[in-house]
Amino acid sequence: MERLRAQRLATAGVTYLMRRSEFDAILHSSLMAVLDSPDVATATASGISEADLTTLRSALLPGPASIASNAAEIQAHVARLFPGESLGDLENGDPAAFKTSLLLTACAQSQLSDDAKMRFVFDILDVHRTGFITRDAINEFLTTTMAMHHVKLCGVSVTDVLDRVFAKTDTGVLTFGDFVGIFGELAAPLATEPTPSIVAPLARRFYDAWLDYAVAHHAEVQFLTLYFLLNVIIATIKISTIPWDPIAGQLARLAKAMAQIVLVNAAAVLLPMCRSLVTALRNIRWLWAVVPFDHTIAFHKIAAAALLGASVVHSVAWVFIVVYARSASDLDWQMSILNKDKTRLLRYGTYMDVAATLPVWTGLAMLACAAIAVPCTHHRIRRASFNIFWLSHCLFVPFTIFLLMHGLLAWMAPPQTQFWIGGPVLLYLVERRYRVSAVFGGSTRIIKAHVATDTVAVYMKKPRGFHGFQPGMYLFLKVPVLSRFEWHPFTISSCPEDDYLSVHIRRAGDWTNALHDHLKAVAATGAAYPAIAIDGPVGTPSQDYGNYPAVVLIGAGIGVTPFASILKHLVHVWEEHRCPDCGVVQLPDRIALRKIYFYWITREQENLCWFRETMQQLSTMDTDHRLEIQTYLTPLSRESVVAPLRLIQTFMQVEDGHDVLTGITSKEKNVTHFGRPDWYEEVPFD
């Protein structure tokens, strides 16, 4: 049992280093995509017989002009042998290229011997049945296939690959003997290698499942437990000060208890937004075991939800109190704690008089602020129209003012709001003042921008306040020409040693789309770059990587940017400690980090190329095998697309150690994979 718990603790530690929230999302999406993938069903099916293979080839190879005439026959074969494919794919792009890829897939999954598979592949590429394969035939097939699936070779061209292939023959064509001699040892890529099927572990007892969660999220569990107990204790203390009332019964106690919870959470909701305070506290190591700094935004949402819920209960309780006060007997009224000069209006005034009182109208105003702000916090609204999200959040200013005014009449107790939220409000105001000073004191400008299809890389002059930032931090960016008020957070992709700041921004909403289009227009016209302002740097969980001997870094798409900064920083650190004589990197004991596992899952191949230089430097310098880089290109999971690309990739890997998808000259383990990672294989789970 102790060993089991130790394993869970170890797993929890590794998961933390992988930025838990991102890892959980990646893991869930990867598992669901794999389990739902038609390739899993195809891969687990029995091998395709030689007869089926021959029949499929006969149906596919007559030529593009015959597709319409034998469409039903082709569709029947495709549906039976490849549930994931459809005839619609034959009608998109180049039919011949797709049919050739489909036959390569069928060959890989067939029952043919290795020699027979080689012969079959050769016959497919020998489209004119001449007994040899020409350079033009291979070039046309590869070029068309890559264009169909939006794949480009990085660092080399198709011509370079063909030069290497045909350099091995003196005739300028490939005979079957040449083909076997060049690709015979690379038969492994022709074997079926689908995205692996993942079998979920058996359901365990509730206690084990709870223990796993508690161990993996121990800081969050402890913190939320303390937070819950704080609310309960403060509400209980408040209840003990309120006597039972003949009119309100327990409603008076309930209303005051909820009011106390509102005050506690009004303070709690502001503290996570004090970014400078959170960044400073993050540097206190012993606090990590108590405060989950990784989840300040999540706690902000929890505190806001508790505040809203307590406000609603408090308001409903007072509605019933007013109704009961107006219908109570005179005797009960005489004995009630509501029988005061300040609250006589509740019994004898009109409902309009009650609504016009300070506590009631300020309470209604706060509920109105919440009713506007809460729907605008939905992630779709925040992503699609950040202005609405930001402007609705500005309602916290009148909300705070109304909260301070709400208890001034002291209906049932002296006002105490100022004691609860005074400190957090002061901290927040100081934070805002500090940020304004930092913004104006750290003026900068755009040096250059690289605009891609869905991303834009912005390179800025580094202001003086950013020379001490740590890898993995992020900043806030404002572009006044787009919006005078919007600040957007982006992870810093440059490292502290660079003489510039850079961020990589993906198109995701109205503001990022506008920035992308504006910088694209600037690049086209040669106009001046827009003025910008930045605020930061701000700490994140990923900056703690240096405290552990081994870390697992997992990035998805543009989310790799914090790790780009970290890995670039490591290039400088390793270079600083490289022995000038033997070239070996000798790290001192004060540097704890000794092993890095870097996983990058992306849908866009162009993302792999902008990070190529850093990965190449790391791969070259990593003589002691401290770094393993695993990249995954997720759109290419079907074997009909993967098979020829994998053959090229393996050929160039063997010839030059060159990964044609990333452009880096890499070690055996630093390669690009197709599909999604099998996390149960990569990171063993208990």
What is the rounded distance in angstroms from the CA atom of residue 573 to the CA atom of residue 590? 12
pLDDT tens sequence across 293-304: 778 888 889 999
- Same domain? For 604 and 524 the reply is no
pLDDT tens sequence across 33-87: 333 334 433 433 456 676 776 676 666 665 444 444 455 555 565 556 655 555 4
- Same domain? For 448 and 378 the reply is no
190 pLDDT tier (thresholds 50, 70, 90) = very low
- Strand pairing class (627-633; 595-602): parallel
Q: In what order do the strands lie in the sheet with 595-602?
A: 550-556, 595-602, 627-633, 672-674
> Does residue 162 form part of some domain?
no
> Does residue 484 form part of some domain?
yes
Cβ proximity of 311 and 359 under 8 Å: no
Which residue among 543, 569, 586 closes a domain?
A: 543
Which CATH number does the domain housing residue 491 bear? 2.40.30.10
Q: Which of 117-121, 200-204, 667-671 has the lowest mean pLDDT?
A: 200-204
> Does residue 88 form part of some domain?
no
Cβ proximity of 669 and 630 under 8 Å: yes
Share of the chain above pLDDT 70, in %: 71
- Same domain? For 309 and 365 the reply is yes
Q: What is the pTM of this model?
A: 0.61
Beta bridge partners of 674: 633
What is the rounded distance in angstroms from the CA atom of residue 339 to the CA atom of residue 530? 65
- Same domain? For 324 and 404 the reply is yes
Please give the structure tokens belonging to residue 677.
């990672």
97 pLDDT tier (thresholds 50, 70, 90) = low
Q: Check residue 90 and give its pLDDT.
A: 46
Cβ proximity of 595 and 522 under 8 Å: no
Question: In total, how many domains does the chain have?
Answer: 3
Please determine, for residue 15, whether its predicted confidence score (pLDDT) is greater than 50.
no
Residue spans of beta strands (DSSP E) within 159-220: 173-175
- Same domain? For 473 and 612 the reply is no
What is the rounded distance in angstroms from the CA atom of residue 328 to the CA atom of residue 142? 88
Which CATH number does the domain housing residue 622 bear? 3.40.50.80
> Does residue 122 form part of some domain?
no
Contacts of 56 (CB under 8 A, 6+ apart): 77, 81, 102, 103, 106
Q: How far is CA 562 from CA 107, 554, 613, in A?
A: 42, 10, 16
Please give the structure tokens belonging to residue 641.
């697309």
> Does residue 431 form part of some domain?
yes
- Same domain? For 374 and 285 the reply is yes
Q: Which domain range does residue 310 map to?
A: 226-436
Instruction: Give residue for tokens 């383990």.
Output: 669
What is the rounded distance in angstroms from the CA atom of residue 379 to the CA atom of residue 386? 10
Please determine, for residue 202, whether its predicted confidence score (pLDDT) is greater than 60.
no
Which residue among 543, 570, 585 closes a domain?
A: 543
pLDDT tens sequence across 566-597: 888 877 787 777 777 776 777 777 777 778 88
- Same domain? For 500 and 427 the reply is no
Q: Residue 665 in 3-state DSSP? A: strand
- Same domain? For 482 and 468 the reply is yes
- Same domain? For 236 and 291 the reply is yes
> Does residue 81 form part of some domain?
no
The segment with the largest mean pLDDT, out of 11-25, 184-198, 395-409, is: 395-409
What is the rounded distance in angstroms from the CA atom of residue 273 to the CA atom of residue 269? 8
Please give the structure tokens belonging to residue 535.
């605020």
Long-range interactions of 89-94: CB distance < 8 A, separation 24+: 91/67, 92/148, 93/144, 93/147, 93/148, 94/144, 94/145, 94/147, 94/148
Cβ proximity of 153 and 161 under 8 Å: yes
- Same domain? For 510 and 656 the reply is no
pLDDT tens sequence across 389-443: 888 888 988 999 999 998 888 777 788 888 888 888 888 888 776 655 555 545 6
What is the rounded distance in angstroms from the CA atom of residue 264 to the CA atom of residue 408? 18
> Does residue 605 form part of some domain?
yes
The segment with the largest mean pLDDT, out of 338-347, 510-519, 644-653, is: 510-519
How many CB atoms neighbour CB 380 within 10 A?
8
684 pLDDT tier (thresholds 50, 70, 90) = low
Which residue among 401, 421, 436 closes a domain?
A: 436
Q: Check residue 648 and give its pLDDT.
A: 72
Cβ proximity of 245 and 336 under 8 Å: yes
> Does residue 275 form part of some domain?
yes
- Same domain? For 234 and 338 the reply is yes
- Same domain? For 393 and 367 the reply is yes
